[in-house]
Copies of this chain bind each other. A is one copy, B any other.
Amino acid sequence: MEEKLIEKIMEEVIKKVGAPNIEVARKEKKLCGLTEFVGTGRGDTIGLVIANVDSSVHEAMKLDKKYRSIGIIGGRTGAGPQIMAADEAVKATNTEILAIELPRDTKGGAGHGSLIIFGAEDVADARRAVEVALKELERTFGDVYGNEAGHLEFQYTARASQACEKAFNAELGKSFGLLVGAPAAIGVVLADTAVKAANVDVISYSSPASGTSFTNEVILTFSGDSGAVRQALIAAREVGIKLLGTLGSEPVTDTVPYI
């Protein structure tokens, strides 16, 4: 009975104070009756469309004039998962990535949130891109591991597209890998581990003072042949889970690893 009570109270608490690295299961899909609303996804991510952005807002947002219809995905927790999901969405639809912005967020966690804007000539394309991205989140959150002290993230694509290019200077059409360690100290070791494990080329190294929005992360991006990129990520993942585990409980993913 005590167990049950604790569980019940934990639910109440998480509802009220939010749970930094724990995805609260969304039991029921909510609808809100607005045409702008597309859906929600992991990481407190919402997907939205605007068929015809007001010209003064369009200008204030400094968007490419070509696109009046925009799709929007943005979440409290996670940048990598949303960017990788957007990358699949631009491949699958007639849209372009107009903006990727990274707030300092994760609801008290160590990382970023995200705001990604797709441009389209037709609102149906914008909507489709948002739908694809929201669906892809289930997969791209697969190699995000968290515990009470931090998080780890590993992302891979065999063929980088516009979102990876815009956010990380990835080369279009090439294999691309990304790793994140938080707290940042762990990320330093993961970066070193990854490049030692396989023949990959470093694209960028970001840290709290440079290339992040002052997150407590080190982020390494790299390219190479498909097998090498994956091998580098797998080696870093193994080390990361051990290191983050020394600061708390065993780091876990809330969904299914894909790498």
Contacts and interface: CB of A to CB of B under 8 A. Distances in A.
Given A57-B195, A149-B44, A192-B53, A102 B208 contact: yes
Interface residues of A, number: 93
Nearest to A2: B5
**Copies per complex?**
3
A148 to B, nearest CB: 5
A80 interface: no
A216 interface: yes
A73 interface: yes
Classify the secondary structure of A's interface with B.
mixed
Interface in A209-225: 209-210, 212-218, 220
Nearest to A61: B205
B186 A247 contact: no
B185 A46 contact: yes
A209 B102 contact: yes
